[in-house]
Amino acid sequence: MRVGAILAVGVAIGLMATPALAAGECRDQDTERQITGCTRDIDSGALHGKSLAEAYMFRGRGWSRKADFDHALADFSEALRLDPTFAAAMNDRATVWYRKGQFDRAIEDFEVAVRLNPRDGAIRCNLGTALRDKGEFDGAIIAYTDAVRIDSRVTSCVGNRGEVWRLKGDLDRALADQNEAIRTNPKLALAYVQRGDTLRYKGDLAQALTDYEHALQLEAEFVPALTGRGLTYEKMGDLVHARVEFQRALASQHRLAKVDVHRKAQETAAAQLAAIDSGAPLPVIPNAPARAASANAIPTPTVAMPTSTARSHQGRRIALVIGNAAYRNVTALPNPERDAEVVAATLRAIGFEAVTLVHDATHQVLVDALRKFADEVETADWAFVYYAGHGIEVNGVNYLIPVDAKIAVDRDVEFEAVRLDQIMTSVESAKKLKLILLDACRNNPFVSQMRRTAAPEAVAAGTTGVGTTSTRSIGRGLGEVNVSGATLVVYAAKHGQVALDGEGGNSPFAVAIVQRLATPGVEITKLFRLVRDDVMEATAGRQEPFTYGSLPGREDFFFVQR
């Protein structure tokens, strides 16, 4: 359960000092009255200069509260056109970019806002959060540290910094910051939840329960605390108390129940209840080490090859499983071969009729496998693809990397790699359900050797002269994907994160899949929620799987039915 992101929005909107505008309704806390009042003031023609810029800013805040980001961005930009030194409007525009997931633009605006108002710690705290969520952890720690040094009021930044230490794999330093955050603001329920989560990851379960209870004393029905208690009892093997806490989380009427962090906690509670009701054994998840020994790997249990076979009543199900480990021109990967083998065995055990297993696919082998699979999918109800190996994003396009790829220049990727679109095309003929699982969000292995060239749009516009920065963008791993129809694309790690290797022979993502796939009677979207939560638990939140797409409500899908 990830709880830090909500602080960024709260800080950005709640602590940022802004000038007072004379017109009362334009500063109204009621969203519609604020938008209407600001519009009337803007249209009156009576406001000029700074006052007019303020009116646009306040109206932008109204649009932002409605999550109408396009109107909000337009108003904040107009406020900045009228007054380029308006730090509050710059901060607010950055916050909207952050909420849209456009972290580069958010960081750029936050940095400008810092320069405009260097004594405002809240802006630096927001900058830290944007850097954190982009994965630039060292920069985030610097920003949070500067924020607290400059402005003692932004105590939440200390807790946020603790979250970054946790994401870096240093749970002891995370706890030190979380202890300090609670000492300076002992009435913040979320701070106790953050520390409770860290303690649970380490295996200090009794102390974790105490922290969640403190949070509930401060905020009755606080959903992250209830779900955290449920996960802790589950880790203790006490499924009776775990069930009670998950049920309380789902029944909560907390005032923030629809806020993202509470909604995600309720989704976790619902999935965990379904798993408990299935009667399946609990997954094996080792405690996270106090300090990670590796930036790229974590301890994982050894998973056994399943042997039992389950029947399916949901049509013909087929799968293509690919494990690329023995790369010839970049560092080989330790897990994909074993990951592919155990996932393929699991699919066979739960009743998939045909499972094709491919190891160390060259470009030609990968293309041929996809072409053959696409032909077979035409007679299938379910089509399932699992890929473990390297994957990268270049200029907004996702690619899977064959083992023989040579990528010296960014444009080589078009000839040496396979577009993710080809994977999606291979499954599109399935009659009922298309599933693609990608354990491929690792660091771009070619980035240090890949020469960057001008982006196609820059060439077309004639903007590739000396000093231009219009080069092709190169992501750390796979980027976001658009999905339509009855299709789910599940990434081992969300955009911007690095998928970790496992020290026990399999990646944490593969371990979670194998331990959860045979859970009877759990609908697929809940099952992938369980996979997400297991990986989060195993990695102390350093890796969060992410699912793109949604399924139609006409039919529920199960890997194993009761």
Query: What is the predicted pLDDT for the residue at 441?
Result: 65
Residue 305 lies in a domain: no
Burial of 377 (0-12, 13-18, 19+ CB in 10 A): buried
Whether the per-residue pLDDT at 228 is higher than 90: the answer is yes
Residues 65, 248, 222: CA angle, nearest 5 degrees: 40
Residue type, 561: Q
Give the span between the Cα atoms of 435 and 428, in whole angstroms.
Answer: 10
Q: Which residues have CB under 8 Å from 129's CB, separation 6+? A: 4, 5, 7, 8, 11, 98, 140, 160
- DSSP state, 259? S
| Structure token pair of residue 476 | 């750390």
Nearest by Cα to 392 from 348, 427, 357, 440: 440
pLDDT in tens, 131-144: 998 889 999 999 99
Domain that holds residue 358: 316-548
The verdict on residue 331 lying in a domain is: yes
Question: Model confidence over 363-395: pLDDT tens digits?
Answer: 999 999 999 999 999 999 999 999 999 998 888
337-359 average pLDDT score = 96
Query: Looking at the domain assignment, is residue 183 inside a domain?
Result: no
pLDDT of residue 552: 83
Reported as a single tens digit per residue, the pLDDT across 531-552 is: 999 999 999 999 999 999 988 8
Query: Which residues, listed in sequence order, are joined to residue 439 by a DSSP beta bridge?
Result: 388
Q: How many domains does the chain have?
A: 1
Do the domain assignments include residue 182?
no
Crossing angle of helices 49-65 and 31-44, rounded to 10° = 150
Q: Which residue, 221, 174, 218, is CA-closest to 196?
A: 174
**Cα(194)–Cα(512) distance, integer angstroms:** 23
The pLDDT of residue 12 is: 40
Cβ-based neighbours of 550, under 8 Å, separated by 6 or more: 488, 525
Q: At what angle do helices 508-516 and 524-538 cross, to 10 degrees?
A: 140
pLDDT digit string (tens) for 153-196?
887 899 999 999 999 999 999 999 999 999 988 999 999 999 99
DSSP-derived letter for residue 334 is S
Please check whether residue 262 lies inside any domain of the structure.
no
Residues 6+ apart with CB under 8 A from 161: 128, 140, 141, 144, 145, 148, 177
> Which pLDDT belongs to residue 443?
65
Q: Residue 364: inside a domain, yes or no?
A: yes
Condensed to tens digits (0 to 9), the pLDDT of residues 12-30 reads 433 344 444 444 788 888 8
For 48, phi and psi rounded to 5 degrees? -145, 160
Amino acid at the residue 124: R
Task: Quote the pLDDT of residue 10.
Answer: 37
E strands in 300-403: 317-323, 354-359, 382-388, 391-394, 397-400
DSSP letter at 291 equals B
467 three-state secondary structure: coil
In a domain, 494, yes or no: yes
Nearest-CA neighbor of 402 among 517, 392, 411, 165?
392
- Alpha-carbon distance values, 543 to 6, 260, 400 (Å): 18, 18, 20
Task: Quickly state the pLDDT bin for 445 (edges 50, 70, 90).
Answer: confident
Q: What is the pLDDT of residue 459?
A: 39
* Residue 115 within a domain: no
Q: Express each pLDDT in 45-72 by its tens digit.
A: 999 999 999 999 999 999 999 999 999 9
Q: What is the DSSP letter of 286?
A: P
pLDDT in tens, 404-414: 999 888 888 89
Mean pLDDT of 421-441: 94
CATH number at residue 330: 3.40.50.1460
Q: Which two tokens stand for residue 321?
A: 């499983």
